[in-house]
Structure 1
Amino acid sequence: MKFQLPRMVRQLLHRRIVMVSAVVLLIIAVLAIGAPIFASADPNDTAVMERLKAPSAEHLLGTDELGRDMYARIVHGARYSLSIAALTAIGSVVFGTILGLIAGFFRKLDAPLMRVVDAMMSFPDILLAIALVAILGASLGNVVLALVLVYTPRVARVVRASTLVVRELLFVEAVRALGVRTSRILWRHILPNLMSPILVQVSFIFAYAILAEAGLSFLGVGVPPEIPTWGTMVAGSQQYADKAFWVVLFPGLAIIFTALSLQLLGDGVRDLLDPKLKKAA
């Protein structure tokens, strides 16, 4: 059954934890979009004499080891961290959906495609991402590409399983008997019925990508240090954490709150769209 977005949004907002998560994500998104307004200071402007200053009225979240304003860096860094996560989620869902549809609908292609997917999923996500970034080179675009390759198999497996079920339904058999083109069947009749699991995967991969980018940056194989993502902030300032805890605490909290909110929102969407979980709730 096709889901109705307005009705689903209303039902989600009735859940307090989901509503709180949505509000947190909205605040973070607004800060990221309006970064030049909400944090007018240059995030890369150094002031050695102001290094490792504690939070104060002048510097709300303190300064880092180069005297850069932590508040400005976190707000501007939200743009990069959220952009990486969003591009990863979109790319993974697009390519994973295509692979899953093809594997689930065309029986002859199912086995070879799924063996490739299984081979990729046999590696831990972070190890595969590290290997891909090491091969491609450390840059923002290559990090996104590596994460897309890591998370595409997850989506492909989910979409393929759902396609196998929808393909056998009577209305699909009917349109196939009428001689409707395969491309039209996939686009108009099967894909709309897969939007529920795809939507859940988007929220989860968004959260996974934020954590993965932070992990890669922490290990020194992520985006270049001059790009102020939350991960590079934690990685670049970890050696000063014993002297100035705020240089690691605040970007770490940004990562935790964003990823946790996305996970809770994804759980809420999954529970709402799964009839068994919905009935149990």
Structure 2
Amino acid sequence: MFRFISVAAAVAATASTAFAGDGTYSTNFSSADGNYWGAATHTTFNGHGDLQLTTDYPGDYFGTWSTGALSNTSDITGFNASFKFSMNTNGNGANEADGFSFLFGNLSDDMNGAGDYGHSYLQNWNGGEWGMNQFSRLGSGMSVDLATYGDDYTHARWASQEVAYNNIDDNLAGHVTYYGYDYALNDAHQATMYIDWETTGDLVVYLETPDNAYGAGTAKTEILRTSGFQGIDTAGFEFGFAGRVGGATWDILIDDLDINYQYSTPVVPGVGGIAALAGLAAVRRRRR
């Protein structure tokens, strides 16, 4: 007898499958990798390069940076990210910078448009320790911030909505703030932040600080955990940073960014694949 198979059903079943893989993004900012907005720039001292999000003078500056589109990905299902950071006052004794955010979201669509959401007098790329206008505008995007003015704290946000919060220690920023690039751009004097996330699990943030003239550092310590990002839509997402200084100043410096991520890309058959499926529309099956 003949057994008939619906071509539409076969195509739908094939399209619903996905290719899973692993990817990496890594830079030590020895060159100007990625995309830059505002005060963000690539800075060097004695041959050592860092991403500089803000400038020590004048204040009220914003800087944003992104990796650019990630190759061979559609939906990121998890990542493990780490990076080093420090602050620099260039010896002028100014107060702390406001802070910065690690970004995971759409960092390409109309970034130079007017920021009609959140801080409305700015552009979409503007951000800082409160996330960024782009994510508020789109209603999506993860930001993990470190506020360094006054008491140090960390937030995790989805768009403009707070998902988790933790007060840390008012000595953190001072522990990795220096008075010149010779120390501030030295890897051994920078703190390290680790951010891990998976779509079926938790977002977990860790912090590690170095031993230096300000005192003993801290080992890798969990500072934030939340399950509030399970199942988020990450289509077209990339990674980045946003930093801000208000009336205060400070350089915010980022280095040694390493990201390992997992992704899932839907597989949709092309014309040839559909034609092949059509050949399966009638499959003869011998009955015993």
Higher helix share: 1
Using the size of structure 2 for normalisation, the TM-score is 0.25
Higher-Rg structure is: 2
Specify which structure has the bigger relative contact order, considering alpha-carbon pairs within 8 angstroms and separated by 6 or more residues: 2
Higher strand share: 2
